Amino acid sequence: MRKFFAIFLGTLCCGKSLAVARFPKPDFTSGYQYPDIVHGAPYELLWNVLDVVLLCGMMMLVVWAAYRKRRRAVIWSMSAVSVLYFGFFRSGCVCSVGSIQNVVTAAVDSNYHLPWYVLLVFLLPIVFALLFGRVFCAGVCPLGALQELVNVRNFRLSRAVSATLSVIPWIYLAFTILYAATRSQFLVCRLDPFIGIFRLGGDLGVMSFGIVLLVMSVFVGRPFCQFLCPYGALLSVFSALSWKKLEITKKGCINCALCGVSCPVDAIRPPQRSKTKEMRRKGVNRVILFTVLLPVLTVAGGWLVSGQSDALSLAHKDVYLYEQLLRQEANPDMEEPLEVETFHALGGNMEELKEKVEGIREEYKTYAWLAGALIGFVIGFKLLKLSLKRGRKTYEIDMARCTVCGKCFNYCPQNLKKDEKTIS
Amino acid sequence: MDKGKMKSPMDRRDFLRTCSAVVAGGVALASGGLLAARASTKEGEVFWQIDPYKCTQCGRCETDCVLTVSAVKCFHANKVCGYCDLCGGYYRPNVKELNTAAENMMCPTGAISREFVEEPYFEYTIDEVLCTGCGKCVKGCTSFGNGSLFLQIDQERCQQCNECAIARVCPSDAIQRVSDDNAYKLKDHA
Amino acid sequence: MRKLYRNISVVTTVFMLVLAVMLGVSYYQMQQVSPLETGVMETLKELNETNGDNELLGQQIRELDLLSRKAYFVKEGQLKVGLYLLLGMAAVLAVCLNLYFKETKNLPEKEFDPIDEWMIKSRARKYIAWAAVVALLVGIGFVGFQHVDFKGLLARSSGELGSASDTLAAQDSLIPQLSTVNSQLSTDSVKGEEVDSAEVDDGMPELKIASRAFRGNNSSATSSARGIATSWNLSAKKNILWQSSIPKHGYNSPVITGRNVFITGADAKARELYCYDVWTGELKWTVKADGIAGSPGSMPKVNADTGLAASTVATNGEVVCAIFATGDVIGADMEGKRLWAKNIGLPDNHYGYASSPVMYGNTLIIQYQNNSNAQILALNAKTGATVWSKKGNDKIAWSSPIIATLGGKSALVVMGNPAITAYNPNNGAEMWRVECMSGEVGSSPASAGGVVFGASEYAKCVAIDGATGETLWEASDYLPECSSLAATKDLVFCATSYGMVCAYDTKTGEVKKEHDLTTPFYSSPVVVDGKVYLFSNSGKVYIFSASTFDLITAFETGEKTFATPAFTDGMMIVRTDKSLYCVKKN
């Protein structure tokens, strides 16, 4: 079998020398014994079980703390546990944010192996979001938890600006899906800003970006979660439709506005009665306009991004190699990049590669269209939502934005009352 | 149902929300179920590993691992080794004298050591702590010797990234996922 | 208390900043330039290999190695400690900041957003709409100029690649040797017959098939040329395209590339490289090997049978290199511009230096084995810088090296006394060595089907498996003295100095066919177009069938011939003791 393997490879790699016995096996006369070399064992898969159990348990604890106790302490300590365990100890892989890509890849490629725990890591936070809101973001996600721990004070951003910026996670998500579905690369993993901190090493550029984000999060609540995280975008949809809604206090709002000020992600909406005088007719017309615009924007987005599919496809290793080969052919004096050199050394077939690349580019056309359509749809939907009027009587939590950090509990005077009573 | 109540905007909103919640939940459950069915049917290939027969020793293993010192290490298959005195992995090419002077050694960190066994054989050992996975010795051994030195990912050190940073840049696609019971692709496996 | 927290915070922040910058720089260094792979270190090692025994250099390398290794591991340790320190300080800072701000809870501040939510919404709507429009326009722009953008993208990425290699090159520029190694590695593959038929101004094409060294490309004694005439007559000008005189005498053989024919000639006054036009026989240019530092003032004593210009030139189609019995080596481009010249030492040779170099990619390989200082030298053909050299204890030999394909790889095969040795032509690493020769080795080896054949008078004829270095068979029926072997996959051809020619079976070493021609042979047989061409010293041509070694034809040319002819498309260039002529069917 071994011999066969060697021959097989030998023909494959055209003359590349592979474990060829140039020198015969020595005949030892001194009774020499081959040493037993033990290689480091891979980590036990049991850790994955523990990960999932902890993930589930910590989310339950957060639910209990947020819905029953209404206290921040438990949630904050969960953050600390998460940063230490999921972050530093387990060094951040695999996380729910990154698992989007595994799931997307598994969905398009039936040969791709999706381990059960990765699927659970992806699904559990969504299930919890459908039931209780974004409890995963609260103190279980190590990325959010890290920002939570360093957060000291919140300086308010203009709401109009932050509403605009909240489109970015969707664009990020669209490209993540595009690159995962075409099996090009895992964008989220590559650009994960905090993994370098957990691992104490990594790409310097990405790490510096992470540090900048971390410094920002001292004064602005969770910049990554608010304006970048693609998984947060996904969760916000489910969270908006959640079965239970978070309440700051059971004892009746006194409209003191403290909760609204305390919220790091600006998820608490103050009581509202529209003072603007606008013709009802005009408002209705606007809603109709944006409803019509929604499919138009979707199609336009799809068209625009799929127009870029050839350039985008350069993110795929094979396409990039093909382009490099073409460039080399056009300009043979150029120094050969390593990829080209290896391609030639291994006797790569240009025709086969070309066929493969054409296949990939076809795929890119489809998925780039979908990604663009998603972006267009999100923009259209946001516009539509922003043109709807809604009134509120008390301070209310916007479940789509709320990351269940629990800060408002500790600010609400009504919520704190009970403690004083029990103490006294 | 009371018609008047249905007309109230709050009810309409609630109704819409319930509908979309059911749809979203259904979608999540259905896709989860589908993927779960797929996930359970396959043999678990979860660890990254280098196929030594595909590896071209380009040197990127040393530089592209997320760890400061790469998790890729040089392994030695004693049963393939020729135990040569003039070892292409131990000495630089054009070596003048077969001694351990710095100008003669291939390994930049001195991770390969050797011990005299009997005339004319030497046993070679890799110190994985010192090894940076640069693959210089592997190249030397593959070009001039039996190819008993080869690169492998040390599973104890590997962080099992969701996407291996070396696999992303490997020019010969030598890094693939392997299953638990095949965590190493050793050359001296009979 | 608050003041204390504030002070701690400030101090930790400052410390963290400094530490972070330090760690960042050190991390960058560790990632970008491995401290163990510095240019200086590599240079020194290269120098050590090319220079002779230089104890001081070795000492220097050892010291530097120790230093850089120490630096590497210390830095690694420092980095680890530093990172933990940074993390710890970050934790302290976070705690202190929290404590400092504990008293000042977030209280309602001046709202800069409008109180009315509808206005916020309207504003957000406007922003998003504008952003979408801008994105749309940019997108349309991209679609419109897609190919332009595409090129830009490529250029950018290649720029990155380029700058990366630039920095590398900058590091290496100190040492010409290193860059030559690089360039040589990149043009690794040996170019066989160059396919290049660019039309030249007078309408005569450049020739596709070259003969770039002694006995053809790679000194292989075979040519892929076809349609070579099997009869010609110099005096009747039958099948003769041209005949030209040669200014200075030499025993070296012609070499053809493109439309140039190269030979050299020398006497006590000058040593010269000549370039003839393959179509007209016109002497296009002459390059003199003069004014070279280290060149001997008086000519070395040489045998009349050898002369001062016995070595054939070698070319790679861009540079032509010639070596003379004085140890002078020159390189010239195709236009006759001398690129470099150097003296590699006066050969201590009782007959005169006679080995012909061979070209491997951009490397000129010289078998410089004389009574003292025997070595194999590899020079950069463009600059003359030493790429590698290999010293040995071999005795003097006049044989020429060949480039053979052994086990699927190019190998340099050198036949000397007492061994036939195969080297990696890239770095001179020895692949195998078989001690089987003795006496004065003047014949050159041949190779076919991965087997190396070598034979010399007073020794034997051996066949060696090129992959393993194992001797397959030995024979001693007929052995060459000056003439070299030629081989097909079935037969090895051998011409002796006493008039016997024979063909050995490549599998067994048994003599398949022999002819007693009673005339000495110094010129070597060449296999071309299914035939073997062989010139006797007197100038009689013998043409044999390459498959059976039956004599097809033989005739006198009338001019003494010691050189081996060179072949190209339908043409053969022959050097006689006084002229150069071209045979072509007309």
Q: Which domain holds residue B97?
A: 45-182
Span B84-119, pLDDT tens digits: 888 888 988 777 777 888 778 888 888 999 888 888
What share of chain B has pLDDT > 70, as a percent?
91
Q: Give the closest residue to C562 by CA, choosing from C514, C520, C528, C503.
A: C520
Residue contact B94–C428, C-beta within 8 A: yes
Question: Contact, A211 vs A147, CB < 8 A?
Answer: no
Residue count (chain A): 424
B22 and B71 share a domain? no
**Residue B30 and residue B62 in one domain:** no
Q: Are C210 and C223 in contact (CB under 8 A)?
A: no
The better pLDDT of the pair A272, C484 is held by: C484
pLDDT at C192: 37
> Is there a domain that residue B170 lies in?
yes
Shared domain for B63 and B109, answered yes or no, is yes
Question: Is the Cβ–Cβ distance between C412 and C73 less than 8 Å?
Answer: no
Write out chain C residues lying below 8 Å of A156, CB-based: 109, 112-113
Distance from CA of B189 to the nearest CA of C (A): 25
Edge to edge, the sheet with strand C430-435 lists C402-406, C409-415, C419-423, C430-435
Residue A392 DSSP label: B
Asked if B35 and B97 sit in the same domain, the reply is no
pLDDT at residue A173 greater than cutoff 90 = yes
A369: chain C residues, CB-CB within 8 Å: none
CB-based burial, C64-79: b 16+ in 10 Å, e otherwise: bbeebbeebeebbeeb
Angle CA C98–C103–C107, to nearest 5:
100
My answer on whether B34 and B117 are in the same domain is no
pLDDT top residue among C414 and B45: C414
CA distances from C482 to A141, A173, C229, C412, C446 (A): 82, 77, 26, 21, 14
Q: Is the pLDDT of residue A202 over 50?
A: yes
> Using one digit for the tens of pLDDT, what is the confidence trace for A24-69?
788 888 888 888 878 877 777 788 889 999 999 999 999 999 998 8
* Three-class HEC string of C168-200: HHHHHCCCHHHHHHHHHHHCCCCCCCCCCCCEC
Label each residue of B144-177 as H, E or C.
HCCCCEEEEECCCCCCCCCCCCCCCCCCCCCEEE
The verdict on a CB contact (< 8 Å) between A164 and C142 is no
How much is the pLDDT for C109?
A: 60
Which stretches of chain B sit within 8 Å of chain C by CB? 62-63, 68-69, 88, 92-94, 96, 101-103, 108-110, 132, 134, 143-144
In angstroms, the CA A237 to CA A232 distance is 9
Give a yes or no: residue B26 inside a domain: yes
Which of A304-318, B41-55, C200-214, C521-535 is least confident? C200-214
B175, burial (CB in 10 Å: exposed 0-12, middle 13-18, buried 19+) = buried
* Selected residue of C28, C29, C37 to mutate for chain B interface (largest B Cβ count, 10 A): C37
Answer yes or no: are the C-beta atoms of A420 and A412 closer than 8 Å. no
Query: What pLDDT does A330 receive?
Result: 82
Q: What is the pLDDT of residues A74-101, one digit of tens each?
A: 999 999 999 999 998 888 888 899 999 9
The larger pLDDT score, comparing residue A238 to residue B10, is at A238
Q: In this complex, do C106 and A154 lie within 8 Å of one another by their Cβ atoms?
A: yes
Q: Residue A362 and residue A309: Cα distance in Å, rounded?
A: 9
Angstrom distances, CA of residue C436 to CA of C420, C460, C473, C474: 7, 8, 11, 9
Let me know: does A80 contact A86? Beta carbons within 8 Å: no
Question: Tokens 């790469």 — which residue?
Answer: B70
pLDDT score of A365: 92
Residue for token pair 């010795």:
B137
Tens of pLDDT along chain C (586 residues) come to: 778 888 888 888 898 888 888 888 888 777 666 666 667 777 777 777 776 667 778 788 888 888 888 888 888 888 888 888 888 988 888 888 888 877 666 565 655 566 677 888 888 888 988 988 888 888 777 766 654 444 444 544 544 444 444 443 434 333 344 334 334 433 333 333 333 333 344 567 777 788 889 998 888 898 888 888 888 988 888 889 899 889 888 899 999 988 899 999 998 888 899 999 988 888 999 998 888 877 887 788 888 888 889 999 999 888 999 999 888 999 999 888 888 888 888 888 888 899 999 998 888 999 998 888 788 989 888 888 888 888 888 888 899 999 998 877 888 999 988 899 999 888 888 889 998 888 888 899 999 888 999 998 878 899 998 888 888 899 888 889 889 999 998 899 999 888 889 999 988 889 988 998 888 899 999 999 889 999 999 889 999 988 889 888 888 888 889 999 999 888 999 999 889 999 988 7
- The predicted structure's pLDDT at residue C173: 39
- CB distance C526 to C565 below 8 Å: yes
ipTM: 0.83
- A288 exposed, middle or buried (CB, 10 Å; 0-12, 13-18, 19+)? exposed
- Region of residue C260 (left: phi > 0; alpha: psi -120 to 50; beta: else): beta
Pairing status of strand C526-528 against strand C222-223: parallel
Name the residue among A205, A200, A190, A210 with its Cα closest to residue A146. Answer: A210
Query: Within an 8 Å CB–CB cutoff, is residue C5 touching chain A?
Result: no
Tokens of C505: 């079976």
Contact map slice: B 117-146 vs A, CB within 8 A: 117-118, 121, 123, 125, 142-146
Mean pLDDT for B158-166 is: 89
Instruction: Check whether residue B59 and residue B108 sit in a common domain.
Output: yes
Verify that B37 and B126 share a domain, yes or no: no
Across the interface, whether the CB atoms of A304 and C140 are under 8 A apart is answered: yes
- Cα C56 from Cα C118, distance rounded (Å): 83
Is pLDDT above 70 for B2? Answer: no
Question: Can you tell me the distance from the alpha carbon of B147 to that of B140, in angstroms, rounded to the nearest whole number?
Answer: 8
Indicate yes or no: CB of B102 within 8 angstroms of CB of C431. no
CATH, range C217-584:
2.130.10.10
Q: What letter represents residue C230's amino acid?
A: T
In angstroms, the CA B133 to CA B135 distance is 5
What pLDDT shows up at residue A11?
31
CA distance A103 to chain B (A): 8
In a domain, B137, yes or no: yes
**Cross-chain Cβ contact C44/B103 below 8 Å:** yes
**Amino acid of residue C217:** N
**Could you tell me if residue B163 is inside a domain?**
yes
**Domain assignments of chain A as residue spans, ordered by start:** 46-273+395-423, 281-386
**Residue closest to A205 by CA, chosen among A214, A216, A192, A215:** A192
Q: What percent of chain A has pLDDT over 90?
A: 32
Contacts of A216 in chain C (CB under 8 A): none
In angstroms, the CA A346 to CA B12 distance is 65
C45: nearest CB among B92, B110, B143: B92
Q: Which long-range contacts (CB under 8 A, 24 or more apart) does C11-20 make?
A: C12/C89, C12/C92, C12/C93, C12/C96, C13/C93, C15/C89, C16/C86, C16/C89, C16/C90, C16/C93, C19/C82, C19/C85, C19/C86, C19/C89, C20/A211, C20/C86
Written as one string, the DSSP assignment of C413-459 is EEE-BSEEEEE-TTT--EEEEEE---S-B----EEETTEEEEE-TTS
Q: Where are the beta strands (DSSP E) in chain B?
A: 45-50, 72-76, 112-118, 121-126, 149-153, 175-179
CA separation for the pair A234, A63 (Å, rounded): 19
Q: Average pLDDT, whole number, for chain A? A: 84
Residues in A closer than 8 angstroms to B67, CB to CB, are 199, 201
For the stretch B133-143, pLDDT in tens is 988 899 888 88
CA distance C356 to C216: 12
In a domain, B64, yes or no: yes
What 3-state DSSP class applies to C281? coil
Q: Name which of A111-120, A208-217, A390-399, C453-462 the model is least confident about.
A: A390-399
Q: How far is CA A407 from CA A64, A74, A235, A309, A402, in A?
A: 15, 11, 20, 44, 11
- Structural domain total, chain B: 2
Q: Reply yes or no on whether the pLDDT at A412 is more than 90.
A: no
CB of C188 closer than 8 Å to CB of C531: no
Task: Mark yes or no for CB contact C76/B68 under 8 Å.
Answer: yes
Q: Which of C480, C558, C472, C554 is nearest to C523 (CA)?
A: C480
* pLDDT the model gives residue C202: 56
Could you tell me if A128 and A139 are in contact, meaning their C-beta atoms sit under 8 angstroms apart?
no
Can you tell me the mean pLDDT for B28-54?
Answer: 78
